Chains A and B, each alone.
Chain A
Amino acid sequence: MKQDLQYQQNTESTSRQEGHAKRGALLWQLFASFFRIGLFTIGGGLAMIPLLDRIAVREKKWFDEEEMMECLAVSQSLPGVVAVNMATYVGKRKGGFAGALLATLGVILPSFIIILVIANILLRVGDNPYLAGAFTGIKAAICGMILATVIRLGKNNLKDAFGWIIALAAFVLIVFLQVNVVWVILGAAVLGIAWTMIQKKHSAKGGD
């Protein structure tokens, strides 16, 4: 009896240890993945999207494309550094507060270190044509990569006419009419609420 109890306690503590090890591994994965993402996010936070799609959705399978869409929507709607928003979102969802902290640390550390270490050198080699060419190539490529990702996200997430109209309207308002992003997001939120209410009413009627 006593032995049984001890055995039980032992297995409990090993499973708890395994749990700790698993959690440690997850936290490390969050840090390392976001460090990698931060290192290759060139030209601003949105360059992160193709990398996030590849690493968080396809490689690590932390979540599916629909949840990634939710992450992007929340990150774009809140103020602040988009990259930090996304890292905090994914980190918190997958690893709680510690996850959020490590993912955020991971995504900002590369730029912090690189600026400190090489910014002063870069100022001097800024005129180097090969370096300038390399960054032109990277930026052109990143445009193409984000475009490919947004097309895939659109195909998988725009499920009805309402979604397509909102997406198209947001694009036109910002690109052609230079409307502030904040107003576009607020307007979309209000229309979304109205649309959901109308749909609920219809389905309630249909159920009667």
Chain B
Amino acid sequence: MQALFSLFAAFFKIGVFGFGGGIAMLPLIFQTVRSFHLMSASDFADLVAISQVTPGPIAVNAATFVGFHSAGVAGSLAATLGVVIPPFVIMLLALRFLDTYKESRIVQGVFAGIKPATIGLIAAAVVFMAQTVLIAGSALALVPCILFLAAFGVSMTGKVNPIYLILVMAAAGAVFCS
């Protein structure tokens, strides 16, 4: 029972303080998991590898994985609830606040600033993701670069369902990157 509670608490903390999402959350997850004595560094390396090859938000992958390792399915559940509840509640409160004050000049001003900033943030995230996958050593990785350009071109037309595109690129990667 205490194990479940500390799993919930650790991931609740990650859910509250995690910012930016995705890989940006891994350092925080690592620090928290270590300070709660939930997992060793080598198990954490497994977790990172698995998060890279499984779908879904990385924080949820991590919660399920760490929870299962320390307390089975109940542990997975406790950790996942811990990481999901904070953003869920915070977003509901934020939406209520926004609906109440949407005419306010301050709220409109905040949106005037953070909307364009979001575009910059997402573009920056693309650069960081691209660094991990398009560069091998000090040179460009040829096949991933070709797949990147192909996916970009096809997406710009807006005509192909991204799900099919992902499946095709997975097949291409399995053949040409293996």
Contact = CB atoms under 8 A, between A and B. Distances in A.
B59 interface: yes
B116 to A, nearest CB: 4
A37 B126 CA distance: 19
| Most chain B CB inside 10 Å of its own CB: which residue of A51, A89, A137, A153 | A137
Given A111-B60, A115-B54, A133-B175, A153 B119 contact: yes
Nearest to A46: B125
B138 to A, nearest CB: 18
Interface string B147-162: 1111111011010011
Interface in A104-144: 104, 107-108, 110-112, 114-116, 118-119, 122-123, 126, 129-144
A80 interface: yes
Nearest to B132: A139
Given A49-B122, A181-B19, A189-B114, A119 B57 contact: no
A33 B127 CA distance: 28
A130 B53 CA distance: 12
A62 interface: no
A137 B92 contact: no
A133 B173 contact: yes
A116 B174 contact: no
A79 B87 contact: yes
Given A46-B125, A50-B155, A139 B133 contact: yes
A7 interface: no
Contacts, number: 377
A137 B113 contact: no
Interface residues of A, number: 108
Q: How large is the interface on B (under 10, 10 to 19, 20 to 34, 35 or more residues)?
A: 35 or more
A148 interface: yes
A150 to B, nearest CB: 5
Nearest to A129: B178
Contact of B56 (A108, A170, A193): A108
A79 B173 contact: no
A200 B108 CA distance: 11
Interface stretch (A8-16, A24-32, A66-74): A66-74
Interface in B54-82: 54-61, 64-65, 68, 73, 76, 80
Interface of B: 15-25, 46, 49-50, 52-61, 64-65, 68, 73, 76, 80, 83-84, 86-88, 90-92, 94-95, 98, 105-106, 108-130, 132-134, 143-145, 147-153, 155-156, 158, 161-163, 165-166, 169-178
Given A45-B21, A73-B118, 4 more contacts: A111-B57, A115-B68, A130-B178, A140-B173
- What 8 A-B pairs come out closest when comparing CB atoms? A137-B173, A192-B113, A111-B56, A44-B22, A80-B87, A170-B120, A82-B21, A193-B109
Interface of A: 36, 38-47, 49-51, 54, 58, 69-70, 72-85, 88-89, 92-93, 97, 100, 104, 107-108, 110-112, 114-116, 118-119, 122-123, 126, 129-154, 157-158, 162-164, 166-172, 174-175, 181-182, 184-185, 187-197, 200
